[in-house]
Amino acid sequence: MNKITNHLPTAELQALDAAHHMHPFTSDGALAKKGVRVITSGQGVWLTDSEGSRIIDGMAGLWCVNVGYGRGELADAAARQMRELSYYNTFFMTTHVPAIALAAKLAELAPGDLNHVFFASSGSEANDTNIRLVRRYWDIKGQPERRVIIARKNGYHGSTMGGGSLGGMPYIHAAGGKIDGIEHIGQPHWWAEGGEMTPEEFGLLRARELEEKILEVGADKVAAFIGEPIQGAGGVIVPPSTYWPEIQRICDKYGILLIVDEVITGFGRTGNWFACETFGIKPHIITIAKGLSSGYQPIGGSIVCDEVAHVIGNADDDFNHGYTYSGHPVASAVALENLRIIEEDGIIDHVRDVAHPYLAEKWHKLGDHPMVGQTSLVGLMGSLQLTPNKATRAKFAAKPGTIGFRTREHCFRNNLIMRHVYDRMIISPPLVITTEEIDVLIDRATKSLDAAYAEVKAEGLFTEA
């Protein structure tokens, strides 16, 4: 067989892909008919496809390429580490320098007494770790009946059986079932579900569902609550300001552990190292992945507070959990170098002081578009709610996601990667995006919204449910 390279004609690559490659979260048959897009290289915020198109990546891959594509220092760090120690494990009383250095660096960066890191290769795996960590903690504390973890509908915590069960996506639960001992409460999605309430009233109402659920399950049976500071895959849903303080109060009142899933929001996305700082949350565990290595290597983990780590670490028995690649030396070395770049290039200051304010002005102006209702932007994580009637926050009559999908297709055609979640458009660009590149992003987004609006109107789809 010939060597498969980027240089085969696109049609040939597409045919081979359709014949042999099963894609995540995709209907492969439908994709094969349409023809998959082949990405061949990346630099900064730009991708190039096999047809030579230059695409601006408004999603930083899957919310992960925080420092942008093509950073040579990260390639060098990987090559150096592969030559020195390509692999060793951290089981059975051994360790190595990259895992030590990365754990120590994360303890320094993470807020409060989050000083201990358990490594995984992804966010899903890290959340599976968290299920074991919190249940194990309560076992050792002599409260083994505390097993239930409360999460939110339309939350996303990965797609392993554990991560997918913590998440509140019914279509993932339907894909092979859901583990037991996980309960879901409503999400703080004011636009869609807030009715006549103010966002602040609605935020309190949704947070108080946690207390109702704790009382329903029994306070002595709840191990932990898990949530994303801002729901990402759910549609970049920024909670009302009242939500997190009330969640914190309730977790404190009942002594349940608080897990904050920072897989997207960590490492500068919201203008701080962690969104816990942005929202003033004090968690016992935070989940990390994605921006930890800017996607250059698969690595994730759980950063654990002193109390939980000490209880588990000082028990007589082992914590029976781990992955072959926990703390993988190459992934750790790359993550460490990525953190150095974020720090030394002042990337978080760039987000807070330059890119966010510049983008915010233009992003919120998109709210004047006839099809855009609410606009949200925290740091460099934003959403546009599409609606046929802003005043009443109406839904479209068409099946949810129809208009969002149409809009995404126009973005694709205009060489802009902007995703849709049902009828919300979302962005999460690399944190290094410049003001000139923000102009390009906004220009292409505007063009795409205009084209989608014209099409939707012409087809009679600009109608309310």
Ligand X SMILES: *Cc1c(COP(=O)(O)O)cnc(C)c1O
- Based on the shown chain and the rule CB under 6 A, indicate whether residue 232 belongs to the binding site for ligand X: yes
Backbone φ and ψ of 88, nearest 5°: -155, 160
Judged by CB under 6 A, the chain residues 289 through 308 that form the site for ligand X are 289, 300
E strands in 35-91: 39-43, 46-49, 54-57
Piece of the chain touching ligand X by CB under 6 A; list 175-183, 206-214, 227-235, 242-250: 227-235
Judged by CB under 6 A, the chain residues 130 through 159 that form the site for ligand X are 156-158
Which CB atom, from 14 or from 154, has the smaller least distance to ligand X?
154
The one-letter amino acid code at 400 reads P
CB 265 within 8 A of CB 274: yes
User: Minimum Å distance from CB 159 to ligand X?
Assistant: 7
Out of 66, 122, 294, 297, name the contact with ligand X by CB under 6 A: 122
- Based on the shown chain and the rule CB under 6 A, indicate whether residue 228 belongs to the binding site for ligand X: yes
Which CB atom, from 332 or from 448, has the smaller least distance to ligand X?
332
User: Minimum Å distance from CB 397 to ligand X?
Assistant: 31
E strands in 314-380: 372-378
Judged by CB under 6 A, the chain residues 157 through 216 that form the site for ligand X are 157-158, 163
Judged by CB under 6 A, the chain residues 426 through 465 that form the site for ligand X are none
Q: CA–CA separation, 334 vs 156, rounded Å? A: 26
List b or e across 243-252, with b for residues whose CB sees 16 or more CB atoms inside 10 angstroms. Answer: bbebbbebbe
CB 145 within 8 A of CB 221: yes
CB 291 within 8 A of CB 268: yes
Site size with ligand X, rule: CB under 6 A: 16
Out of 14, 124, 326, 448, name the contact with ligand X by CB under 6 A: 124
CB 124 within 8 A of CB 157: yes
CB 317 within 8 A of CB 128: no
- Based on the shown chain and the rule CB under 6 A, indicate whether residue 421 belongs to the binding site for ligand X: no
Which CB atom, from 50 or from 66, has the smaller least distance to ligand X?
66
Question: What does the per-residue mask of binding to ligand X show for 239-278, with x meaning CB under 6 A?
Answer: ----------------------x-xx--------------
Query: Read out DSSP for 432-452?
Result: T--HHHHHHHHHHHHHHHHHH
Residue closest to ligand X (Cβ):
123
Instruction: Give the tokens for residue 1.
Output: 């067989």
Q: CA–CA separation, 151 vs 167, rounded Å? A: 7
E strands in 289-402: 300-305, 372-378, 381-386
User: Minimum Å distance from CB 62 to ligand X?
Assistant: 6
User: Minimum Å distance from CB 237 to ligand X?
Assistant: 12
- Site for ligand X, rule CB under 6 A: 122-124, 127, 156-158, 163, 228, 232-233, 261, 263-264, 289, 300
